[in-house]
Amino acid sequence: MRVAALYDIHANLPALEAVLDDVGAAQVDLIVVGGDVFPGPMPRETLARLQGLNVPARFICGNGELAVLAQIDAADPSAVTYWGTTSGAPLPEPQREALRWTAKEIRHDYASLLRAWPRTLQVRIDGVGDVLFCHATPRSETESFTRLTPEAALRPVFDGVNASLVVCGHTHMPFDRMVGRVRVVNAGSVGMPFGRPGADWALLGPVVQLRHTSYDLSQAAERVRGAAYPQAASAAAAILSPPSEASMLDVFTNASF
């Protein structure tokens, strides 16, 4: 069995389309979508594309999905208590607006689908063994760590895991490291990478490969700028010039541990 792990798409449909071309060429048996399909500029179109895959797919929830569901479930916007942040604090207003817009976009057609997505998924992959897929860590969809987070801080999170490999995302920077006896791979972000422009994902079986897909960034940015998404301009700018890895390592390495 070969498995493609696609994380943090953030409704960047052009990036997803390019990655799916590479996934098709890799002849995978399963696609695991590891959460944070949105928020982002093209949520309905992105979900429709994922629903129409010609390869079996399984999905897990990220903090993005849970934050959007919290918006859908709140009759009064002031009653929302879940924002998908590590601290639990509300997001800045522009990001709240993006969540509210996304909730309106997917409320009627896709909310029930998202509610069925689990927080984790375990799959046995030939040549790799038992693999646990989670969005951020096995116990949380919001905890943040990187390749630089000290191992001693992460051991309590991973020592009890009954898998030889954990695949995560959430911090949008790929890595491959050991935490105690457990190999931990961050698949990176399809739609909103930090560092190198393009799209990152992972191919599993019989070995583990961190893959990078290049695509037409200018054309993608133009498509995103034309979306009705409240933050379309900033999303398009991020496609062309993502935040640097160094700056985001400063943000996430010690954010939760």
| DSSP state letters, 89-114 | PPPPHHHHHHHHHHHHHHHHHHHHHH
pTM equals 0.97
Per-residue pLDDT at 112: 94
For the chain, which residues make up each domain, given as ranges? 3-252
Per-residue pLDDT at 78: 81
> Per 3-state DSSP, what percentage of the chain is helix, strand, and coil (rounded to 5)?
35, 20, 45
Q: Is 30 exposed, middle or buried (0-12, 13-18, 19+ CB in 10 A)?
A: middle
pLDDT above 70 covers a percentage of the chain that reads 100
Measured between alpha carbons, how far is 136 from 154 in angstroms, rounded to an integer? 12
Per-residue pLDDT at 103: 96
Per-residue pLDDT at 77: 79
Q: What CATH architecture is 3-252?
A: 4-Layer Sandwich (3.60)
Per-residue pLDDT at 159: 96
Mean pLDDT of the chain: 97
Q: Which segments of the chain have a pLDDT < 70?
A: none
Per-residue pLDDT at 196: 97
Per-residue pLDDT at 129: 97
Per-residue pLDDT at 201: 99
Per-residue pLDDT at 125: 97
Measured between alpha carbons, how far is 255 from 44 in angstroms, rounded to an integer? 31
